[in-house]
Amino acid sequence: MGRNQTWITEVILLGFQVEPALEVFLFGLFLLFYSITMMGNGTILGLIWLDLRLHSPMYFFLSHLAIIDMSYASSTVPKMLANLTFLYLAFAVTECMVLVVMSYDRYVAICHPLQYTIIMSWRVCAGLVATCWAFSFLLALVHVVLLLRLPFCGPHVINHFFCEVLSVLKLACADTWLNQVVIFAACVFILVGPLCLVLLSYTRILFAILRIQSGEGRRKAFSTCSSHLCVVGLFFGSAIVIYMAPKSSHSQEQRKILSLFYSLFNPMLNPLLYSLRNAEVKGALRRALWKQRSM
């Protein structure tokens, strides 16, 4: 009742409220993280594109994860509320779904190796990836449409470093009950559901690995799966804490720090986890460097 009823058309992002002496340090740190993200994921993309040994379903999905991570990190430099809120949500949901598809790929590869090429044909892989992208952009559009129908009448300050949907909702001067319900339902469907599927897949994978007689075979299977599990744990863990934990359990500053994990740190760590723990990727990198040196 007592809120200013003048509608707002632009907002100010507070970012991190730190001492001026730390601003330059944080700028350099985040620029370094962003540069590593772009270079790391770009390297993964280049290796997969150039090395025929990496032309398999697993690396097909990994290449899309790299594209998502590069776009995801870039979308947190906001200029327009509607556009970049949409992109941020779309890339976040796409990453969730691609991580689930990658766990299914590892399940088929380890539990049904003789049928792998039939089950995970290129047609199936392309269909799965297209479904992830299409569904994610559709779901993001639903959130943005519900968000933009609301009147925003001040204050015009968002206490975040990008146009995060929950922070934007706080500026609305109308009932946001429907938005909150849709966000919670989406979290159950996009975070809890996929995480359960991933855990189910890796439970089956674990039993299959334990039945492998060869020690080298078990080591290789654990290596590829552990990288994926690290990525899943970081991404889903931080997102579930932010969007599904009680509001009173975290301050706004804590929420902003947690947001860094799935918007900046995860895209930076993904190529490092997959390359440092993956012999095939390291082999492709050595071959690419050797070929460049011999030219």
**pTM assigned to the model:** 0.79
Asked whether residue 237 is domain-assigned, the answer is yes
pLDDT tens string 190-244: 888 888 988 898 888 888 888 877 777 677 767 767 777 877 888 888 888 878 8
Q: How many other CB atoms are found less than 10 A from the CB of residue 17?
A: 9
Tokens of 162: 């990008």
Q: In whole angstroms, what is the distance from residue 64 CA to residue 74 CA?
A: 15
Nearest by Cα to 93 from 128, 136, 133, 131: 136
State residue 21's pLDDT score: 63
State residue 82's pLDDT score: 45
Asked whether residue 212 is domain-assigned, the answer is yes
Asked whether residue 2 is domain-assigned, the answer is no
Overall domain count for the chain: 1
- Assign residue 217 the CATH number of its domain: 1.20.1070.10
pLDDT tens string 73-94: 776 544 434 445 777 788 888 9
pLDDT tens string 179-203: 989 998 998 888 888 889 888 988 8
Tokens of 262: 């799935």
State residue 12's pLDDT score: 63
Q: In whole angstroms, what is the distance from residue 208 CA to residue 218 CA?
A: 9
Asked whether residue 6 is domain-assigned, the answer is no
Nearest by Cα to 275 from 36, 96, 82: 36
Tokens of 179: 């938005």
State residue 124's pLDDT score: 93
Asked whether residue 7 is domain-assigned, the answer is no
Domain that holds residue 128: 12-294
For the chain, list residues with pLDDT below 70: 1-24, 75-84, 154-155, 161, 217, 221, 224, 247-253, 262, 275-277, 292, 294-295
Asked whether residue 3 is domain-assigned, the answer is no
Nearest by Cα to 165 from 89, 97, 94, 92: 89
Transcribe 131-166 into DSSP letters: HHHHHHHHHHHHHHHHHHTS-B-S--EESSSS--HH
